């Protein structure tokens, strides 16, 4: 199931299934809300999002109630997660997937939200979206690319497919701590590791979070998929290598069609040469297209992509095309 796109006047519900919304600054909340309202959307908030315990989240019961309320409410057309964190997979056994299946709507977030997006697709058959959080809209500078690709994927009249554009520059700083002193780097383009062409169903997001689903009923079927994978500042070359290897060992991986790797954070020290080494040591990947340094993950900006949606991937030495289907 592909949820209906957003149109002017639609309501977006913000929920916090991971870290509490209460950690966001007043300025962030105001700018994020303003930006969404500029798109013609109405912004509402889950009633428990500001609860905060010693783990910087709210109770499972509160988070489940907000999630279910958002899907139940016929006025709500899209659900945006406030921010990522660590505890989203606590919710999986408590989710009413029949409720979600009966009330399909846009669900979007990234990082820790990878657990929910992929589980909802696996259990309810609903296409979800790996993309900006609500809090991402509070970025004052360098947000244009992320906003444009959010609109291309999720807003009405944006078309049925589009080719992902390469950003002109990117950043990897704590922008939410200092909006004025930002550092941007020129985008040197994709890192082509294996050439080839393929088409398939997108599965993925944050690799270490996706791997939390291994061996459970919440893990999507990898057969016929194109994996979109990224990792955060807690990774390093060795942990990315073993996390990727763990995914390779999953049932259905022999039928994976290709891999797109999101740009790594600088602190991870995963260089282009190390990415190549990691991929090239895995014979299971030798026959499929693999490309890295794509504009998604824990650097900015990012494009929004559909988990369970279709992608066409064309990887040549000096030409990479990623075409996403939106309906």
Please state whether the peptide bond connecting residue 174 to the residue before it is cis, i.e. omega within 30 degrees of 0. no
Sign for the pseudo-dihedral over CA of 139, 69, 60, 213: negative
CA distance 327 to 317: 30
C-alpha distances in angstroms, 325 versus 77, 164, 247, 273? 20, 11, 25, 31
For residue 225, the number of C-alpha atoms closer than 13 Å in the C-beta half-sphere is 26
Catalytic, out of 18, 58, 82, 111: 111
Active site residue 230: yes
Hunting for tokens 């360098």 — which residue is that? 142
Residue 214: helix, strand or coil by DSSP?
coil
CB atoms within 10 A of CB 317: 7
287, exposed or middle or buried, with CB in 10 Å at 0-12, 13-18, 19+?
Answer: exposed
300 included as an active-site residue: no
Q: How far apart are CA 73 and CA 64, in angstroms?
A: 14
To the query of whether residue 246 is one of the catalytic residues in this protein, the response is no
186 Cβ neighbours under 8 A, 6+ residues apart = 168, 169
Neighbours of 235 (CB within 10 A): 22
Q: Which among 20, 230, 265, 268 is annotated as catalytic?
A: 230
Catalytic residue among 133, 135, 298, 300: 298
- Tallying the residues shown for the chain, one arrives at 327
Q: What angle do CA 256, 86, 127 make, to 5 degrees?
A: 40
297: left (phi over 0), alpha (psi -120 to 50) or beta: left
CA distance 169 to 4: 31
* C-alpha separations of 75 from 46, 47, 127 in Å: 13, 16, 19
Tokens 């270490």, located at residue? 208
Give the residue numbers marked as catalytic: 111, 230, 298
């Amino acid at each position: 199931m592909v949820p209906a796109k957003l149109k002017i006047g639609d309501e977006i519900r913000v929920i916090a299934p991971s870290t509490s919304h209460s950690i966001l600054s007043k300025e962030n909340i105001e700018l994020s809300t303003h930006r969404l309202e500029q798109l013609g959307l109405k912004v509402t908030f889950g009633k428990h999002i500001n609860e905060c315990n010693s783990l910087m989240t709210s109770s499972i019961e509160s988070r489940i109630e907000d999630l279910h309320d958002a899907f139940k409410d016929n006025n709500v057309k899209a659900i945006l997660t406030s921010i990522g964190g660590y505890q989203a997979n606590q919710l999986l056994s408590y989710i009413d997937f029949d409720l979600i299946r009966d009330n399909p709507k846009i669900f979007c977030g990234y990082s820790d939200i990878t657990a929910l997006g992929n589980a909802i697709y696996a259990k309810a058959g609903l296409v979800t979206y790996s993309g900006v959080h609500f809090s991402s809209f509070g970025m004052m500078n360098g947000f244009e690319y992320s906003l444009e690709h959010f609109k291309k994927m999720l807003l009405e009249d944006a078309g049925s497919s589009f080719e992902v554009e390469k950003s002109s520059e990117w950043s990897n700083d704590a922008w939410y701590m200092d909006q004025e002193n930002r550092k941007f780097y020129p985008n040197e383009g994709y890192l082509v590791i294996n050439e080839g062409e393929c088409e398939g169903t997108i599965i993925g997001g944050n690799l270490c979070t996706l791997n939390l689903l291994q061996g459970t009923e919440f893990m999507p079927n990898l057969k016929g998929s194109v994996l979109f994978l990224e990792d955060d500042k807690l990774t390093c070359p060795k942990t990315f290598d073993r996390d990727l290897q763990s995914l390779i060992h999953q049932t259905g991986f022999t039928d994976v069609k290709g891999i797109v790797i999101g740009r790594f954070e600088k602190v991870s020290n995963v260089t282009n040469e190390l990415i190549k080494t990691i991929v090239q040591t895995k014979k299971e990947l030798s026959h499929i297209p693999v490309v890295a340094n794509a504009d998604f993950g824990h650097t900015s900006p990012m494009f929004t992509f559909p988990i369970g949606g279709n992608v066409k991937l064309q990887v040549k030495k000096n030409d990479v095309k990623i075409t996403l289907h939106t309906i």
